[in-house]
With several copies, the nearest count.
Chain A
Amino acid sequence: MTMQVAAIDVLYFAWLRERIGVPRERVETSAATVRDLVAELAGRDDWHAAALSDMDAVRVAVDQRLADMDAPLAGAREVAFFPPMTGG
């Protein structure tokens, strides 16, 4: 299987946005799943590592739909990380 490298927009909200320091960034990645992408991002710097260290406290959306750590990223354009929602 060939490694596909794709450009994905990664978005952060609420305290993830604050701790990572940017609301969004474009990453070139060959990550096949959300879990792979998290591992890559956590390797970027201490802030990414800290924010993504406890993924039980983080929710994920792939192309604006809630997803889990095993969700495939083939064809995905946008992945968002955020805390559990507190709407209403």
Chain B
Amino acid sequence: MGPRVIVQDAPFDAASLLDGFGAGAGAVVTFSGLVRADDGLVALEIEHYPGMTEAALSDHARNAVERFALTDALVVHRFGRIEVGAAIMMVATAAPHRRAAFEAADFLMDWLKSRAPFWKREIGAEGPRGWVAAKDADEAALTRW
């Protein structure tokens, strides 16, 4: 059974996705990314590349499972309009020991930030703003692995 990858526009229920996740493992790490209300932001609009997104996330989740000897992995990422306070995405990793679970979650996130085909645009009360620029730091973070 491979890692589970979910790409959807609807909100997701983290609790039900994590129910039973990591059974038999000693360590489970989750990371959730939420929309912050910075600078009067009211929502994010996320565009993605249907087909490539799912394939790329699945490939990368499998890489993480192999590299960190995970017993389980989950990647969920939304697209479309996401209101302030809502979750954009979540990764979860399960391993016998904590170091592997932490590192795998960190690795998945570094990759997601600059290699998964998603593009964010900010929506203010006044309407759509510009596309969020990629951060050099996110690109640089990938060289850690």
Contact = CB atoms under 8 A, between A and B. Distances in A.
Contacts of B131: 14-15, 83, 86
A17 B117 CA distance: 14
A73 B15 CA distance: 44
Interface size range on B against A? 20 to 34
Interface string A27-71: 000000000000000000000000000000000010011100000
B113 A87 contact: yes
A86 B119 contact: yes
A88 B119 CA distance: 10
B117 A13 contact: yes
A3 interface: no
B49 A83 contact: no
Most chain A beta-carbon contacts within 10 A, residue among B47, B121, B132? B47
Interface of B: 33, 46-47, 49, 51-52, 55-56, 77, 88-89, 98, 109, 112-121, 131-134, 139
